[in-house]
Amino acid sequence: MTLKKFKSTAVVIAAMISLSGCSAMSTAIQHRNLVTNTKMSATVWLDPTPVSQHTVYLQLRNSTNKKLDITKVLTDKLKQKGYTVTSDPAKAHYWLQTNIIKLEKMDPNAGLALLNQGYGGAVVGGGLAALAMASHTHSTSSVVGAGLIGSAIGFVADNMVEDVNFGMVTDVQVVEKTKESVDSSQVAHLNNGIGGSTNTTVKTVANKKRYQTRILSSANKVNLDYVDAEPALVEGLATSVAGIF
């Protein structure tokens, strides 16, 4: 290799190292602090009630493989708002039912898509967005070699600095007891093999109003792990749910 070619290759490698470092450094700086966010698919409006009816029965579920419990934090927040949490559904004016249906590393856009489906919407597919890759052809073998070295350096840098977003999707239902009878119906869509389906409608009359919504909670930070994300997710979800009352 001539001195001229060597210098040219060295410049290319140095540039690639610099760009790789800048990209990783930019990610580390932009996402160095923990950022949490909570969104609700639809607002729930409860009619004002006398203090004597400020009683809530909690039915909290977690259908994911993560051990996360919002019971204590949510109970404390409801008590701070003047509500009594009871273990007897017959004594409660409100039944608060929640189910965490998805909790994992999730692309923010995928999380918003799940939120927009609203209460009961299907939760399928992976949470990570596809990555676009571009290939470039160079005329000299020295530049190709430099590209391989630069790619390897960039790969290592990118894997050391990762922008991580945890998303949690929760379906929420509030049942309110009423003096008047309320007509309600539920429709179930059942698939019968390939191309066949059956719709089943169940109509009921009861002294209860039902309000439903979906909540998306997220925690974002560089190199974030679940242990550090969990408290923020619990706080965000509990605050949002308590805010309904």
Quick: pLDDT tens for 218-235: 999 999 999 999 999 999
Task: Indicate whether 151 belongs to any domain.
Answer: no
pLDDT at 157: 46
Task: Indicate whether 219 belongs to any domain.
Answer: yes
| pLDDT range class, residue 190, cuts 50, 70, 90 | low
Task: Indicate whether 233 belongs to any domain.
Answer: yes
Task: Indicate whether 26 belongs to any domain.
Answer: no
Task: Say whether 73 sits in a helix, a strand or coil.
Answer: helix
Query: What is the reported pTM?
Result: 0.69
Among 174, 201, 203, residue whose Cα is nearest residue 98: 174
| pLDDT range class, residue 109, cuts 50, 70, 90 | very high
In single-letter form, the type of residue at position 154 comes to: G
* Domains held by the chain: number: 1
| pLDDT range class, residue 30, cuts 50, 70, 90 | low
Task: Indicate whether 226 belongs to any domain.
Answer: yes
Beta bridge partners of 197: 191
pLDDT digits 0-9 by tens, 137-181: 344 444 444 444 444 444 444 556 788 999 999 999 999 999 875
How is residue 65 written in tokens?
Answer: 């493989």
pLDDT at 100: 98
Name the average pLDDT for the chain.
78
pLDDT at 147: 45
Task: Classify residue 100 as exposed, middle or buried by CB count within 10 Å of its CB (0-12, 13-18, 19+).
Answer: buried
Q: Which domain holds residue 109?
A: 35-129+163-242
Task: Indicate whether 47 belongs to any domain.
Answer: yes
Task: Classify residue 227 as exposed, middle or buried by CB count within 10 Å of its CB (0-12, 13-18, 19+).
Answer: exposed
* In the predicted structure, residue 128 carries a pLDDT above the cut 50: no
Task: Indicate whether 181 belongs to any domain.
Answer: yes
> Could you tell me the CA-to-CA distances from 75 to 57, 126, 217 in Å, in that order?
10, 32, 18
Cα–Cα distance measured from residue 23 to residue 140, given in angstroms and rounded to the nearest whole number: 26
Task: Indicate whether 29 belongs to any domain.
Answer: no
Cα–Cα distance measured from residue 184 to residue 11, given in angstroms and rounded to the nearest whole number: 72
